[in-house]
Amino acid sequence: MTSKASATELRDRVVSSLIPGLDLRPFIAGEFTDPVGSGEITDTDPMTERTLAVLPAAGPADVDAALTAARAAFDQGPWPRMTAQERADTLDRFAALIERDTERLSLLEATDTGKRLAGVRGWDVPQSAEVYRYYAQAMLQARTTSMPKVGEASVFVRRVPVGVCAAIIPWNFPFACISWKIAPALAAGCTVVIKPAERAPLSAQALAALAAEAGFPPGVVNVVLGTGDVAGRALVADPRVDKITFTGSQETARSIVAGSASRMPRLTLELGGKGANVVMADCDLDAAVDGTITAMFDVQGQNCCAGSRTYVQRGIYEEFLDRVVTAAEARRLGDPLDEKTEQGPQIDRAHFERIDSYVKGALKEGADCATGGKGADQGGLFYAPTIVTGATSSMRITREEVFGPVGCVYPVDSTEEAITAANDTDYGLSASVWTSDLDFADRFVTEVRVGTCWVNCFGYFATEVPWGGVKLSGQGRELGVAALDEFMDGKSVFRI
């Protein structure tokens, strides 16, 4: 089957061949095992709303087995005792297997999430392989830092792995987010238990098989799919977990913090955003319009860094709004496996209804829709690209993360008002600004409270650049050398 196959042919291949080729059982201690739990998770295709697979749901006993394996692999196994080069070699093999299976993994991910195949094939999967290679190399750097002597004692700081790590994965970027979480953990010498997203679990099952093929020792990588209130709760509450890394909602994060509070494990939390996208009158308007469309609607708006609050200087507000509405209405919605598609369906019916409730709520509160505001003509789970005007700073649609193809546009009069509005949120993940005034751009970068700023661009990422938020967008960082510190402890040593 080639990339020129039709979307229907590609979906048939996924359903008839790729999914039946997966082992859907928990992956524990280096092998797929029959689950102890009796529950099931039904995974559906966002495009057709049909069942893709019925997977066994891990229960507390399965989580216990995974943690027993991970704890033994860390406490007695070879992985944390290997040289950095030996671990790097395994991570490099893992990356090579991902690269070998790029097409298969991309088809599974796109079908399972409703994301565009072109985007998954072009970024999610290859970037994941790059992340494993990056951390393989990063750990080859010196792990011990020498310091000035104290009296007669030589002093150094030895960096050691944290221990057993629980990685809880979101459904919008499942394959990529696994790599962001476990690559630095594995490079550091930790062992991991992965709980995939219930709404998009297939690529994690495929990854588990590749982990076995790559030669990770038993118990180093474990995958247990289960519901948050059963498997997730058992995982975060277990005293054998030294570190939890999670991407998802604030509500779930609060449950994780509460469930693990008695033992206070290390935490990395990425909790979404309500990104400000500021467009000043002196900007390159063509670039700002294109960037705003991407910021609002990429990945169907199911994107933590979405620029869902766009503040436009009043002098260009009407022209900007007209151009953005025209561009939104021209977006090509369709099958995510079709190369021509620009926007696919939402992840499932419940999320579709959630998005619609935000829009309808804003309209009842007095806002207007410049375009969209309903399900798209394609039917199913397609939500029309939506632009809301007239929303106030107190409305839910301004305050809360909609996580759909919905953007609000607001006029502002001054640079001061733009910065104040950008900061008027409980979130602090990312923001973007479009201006030719580099002094203002520098001020914006300095004063807006976020983890990442884009100036005259949107959505740039790099494996070596840290990613994470402030305020209620979370704590800690992923990517870059900074992420290694999230999975290592510094041990101060005085020696005579």
In the chain, how long is the greatest CA-to-CA distance? 77
Let me know whether 123 and 209 are in one domain.
yes
Give the C-alpha separation, 286 to 300, whole Å: 22
Percent above pLDDT 70 for the chain: 99
Q: Are residues 222 and 302 in the same domain?
A: no
Token pair in block for residue 307: 């620029």
Same-domain pairing of 265 and 289: no
The pLDDT value recorded for residue 88 is: 97
Residues 6+ apart with CB under 8 A from 54: 40, 41, 42, 43
Domain that holds residue 32: 7-271
Same domain for 294 and 267: no
* pLDDT for position 377: 94
Question: Do 282 and 177 lie in a common domain?
Answer: no
Work out how many domains the chain is built from and give that number. 2
For the entire predicted model, the pTM comes to 0.96
Q: Give CA–CA dist 342/121, Å, rounded.
A: 14
CA distance 86 to 262: 36
Question: Is there a single domain that holds both residue 219 and residue 139?
Answer: yes
Q: Does one domain contain both 256 and 351? A: no
Q: Could you tell me if 160 and 192 lie in one domain? A: yes
Q: Which of 271, 303, 323 is the last residue of a domain?
A: 271
Rounded mean pLDDT for each run of 10 residues along the chain, 496 residues in total: 80 98 98 92 98 97 98 98 97 98 98 98 98 96 86 95 98 98 98 98 98 98 97 97 97 96 96 97 98 98 98 98 98 98 98 98 98 97 98 98 98 98 98 98 98 98 97 97 95 95
The H helix count followed by the E strand count for the chain is 17, 20
DSSP state of 214: H
Residues 286 and 267 in one domain: no
Give the Cα separation of 10 and 240 in Å (integer). 43
**Which residue in the list 165, 177, 283, 304 is annotated as catalytic?**
304
346 belongs to a structural domain: yes
Evaluate whether residue 486 is within a structural domain: no
- In b/e form, how buried is each residue of 213-232, taking b as 16+ CB within 10 angstroms? ebebebbbbbbbbbbbebbb
Query: Cα separation of 182 and 177, whole Å?
Result: 9
Q: What secondary structure letter does DSSP report for 134?
A: H
Co-location of 253 and 296 in the same domain: no
> Which tens digits make up the pLDDT trace of 424-483?
999 999 999 999 999 999 999 999 999 999 999 999 999 999 999 999 999 999 999 999
**181 is a domain residue:** yes
The DSSP code for 17 is: I
For residues 259 and 285, state if they share a domain: no
472, part of any domain: no
Is residue 339 annotated as part of the catalytic site, yes or no? no
CATH number at residue 380: 3.40.309.10
Q: Is the same domain home to 343 and 398?
A: yes
Looking up residue 149, the CATH number of its domain turns out to be 3.40.605.10
86 is catalytic: no
Q: Which of 270, 401, 478, 486 is catalytic?
A: 270
What's the rounded Cα separation, in Å, for the pair 214 and 217? 9
Task: Name which of 471, 60, 74 is nearest 236 in CA terms.
Answer: 60
